[in-house]
Structure formats: C-alpha cells, structure tokens
Amino acid sequence: MSLFDEKLIFLDYESKNKKDILKNLSKELENMGYVDSYKNFSKAVLEREKHSTTGIGFNIAIPHGKSSSVHEPFVVLAKPKKSLEWESLDDEPVDMIFLIGVPEKSADEHLKILQKLSVNLMDEKFRENLKNAESKEEILNLVKNIE
C-alpha cells in the first residue's frame, strides 16, 4: 500500500493558523475513514507539536501523530493558500505540510516515514519541484518513490 494517495493531497487549502489546519485536515481524514476520531488524532499531533516544532525549515513542516484512531499509516500533503507561522527552526513560515499518521501500536513506523521523507526533502531540486507542482498528479509523480 502506498503512503501517498491523491485523496490526501490538498492544494490551496484554506486555514487561519497551524492549529486550524491540523484540526481541519484531521476532520478530512475522519470523513475519508483514515481515522476514527479527528479529535483524538489532532490532539495527538498537537501534543507532539508541544514537545518541539515540526517546522524543519525550507518552509516545510512535518507534523505527526501516533493514535489509536489511525487505521493504517498515511501521509497528507497540504499546501495552504497562505503561508502559516509554525515556529520553524529557521523562523520562516510554512507553505508545505506533510502530516503523518500512524497507529498507536506501530513501533517506529513514523520514524521510518520521517526519515525517508527527510532524506528527499534535503534535496533542493526535489523541494523546488514539489513547491512548483500545481496539480495532484505532478505531486504524486514526485513522491511516488518515497516508500
């Protein structure tokens, strides 16, 4: 099963701030059956955010959560309509968000996903191609090899 799915790519996503986008993406996930409870999942993600920022720099954030509400590991890619403050490591706002969800019982699945994603995001050309992609198809073609 692929971690990336066209249904989990959101372009020009309306949101006011970090908390708002995480809550709303969690609602989308509940509506699509990826999580049982958007409240439980968004709470897990926001609790993780309290420990340290997931804004890794380069205008990218990788929030993640382990929750009993999650059925299977997934990655959401969201590009907000407007850049969002995220308390990033480089103090820059975020315009690309990779939201990772894994079942609570999965040992270190989220770490494996984070590692694979991070390796690719360190590549400047890959980041630029993602930022410039204007369709879900373009994005899927770029991320399909991250498995």
| 87-122 tens-digit pLDDT | 999 999 999 999 999 998 877 766 777 788 888 899
Q: What angle do CA 106, 72, 65 make, to 5 degrees?
A: 60
Amino acid found at 95: D
Q: Mean pLDDT lowest for which of 4-18, 35-49, 70-84, 95-109? A: 95-109
Residue 26 lies in a domain: yes
Q: What's the start-to-end Cα distance of the chain, in Å?
A: 9
Establish if 66 belongs to a structural domain: yes
- Whether residue 57 is contained in a domain is answered as yes
Return the C-alpha torsion angle 84, 76, 98, 114, nearest 10.
160
Distance (Å, whole) CA 33 – CA 72: 10
User: Rounded to an integer, what distance in angstroms lies between the CA atom of residue 135 and that of residue 138?
Assistant: 5
> Tell me, what CATH number does 13's domain have?
3.40.930.10
Instruction: Name the domain count of the chain.
Output: 1
Determine the average pLDDT of the residues in 51-55.
Answer: 91
What are the pLDDT digits (tens) for 73-89?
899 999 999 999 999 99
Residue 100 is assigned to a structural domain of this protein: yes
What residues are annotated to the active site? 64
DSSP letter assigned to residue 7: G
With respect to residue 128, please indicate whether it lies within any of the assigned structural domains: yes
Residue numbers of the domain that contains 68? 6-143
Q: What is the value of pTM for the model shown?
A: 0.92
Is 1 contained in some domain?
A: no
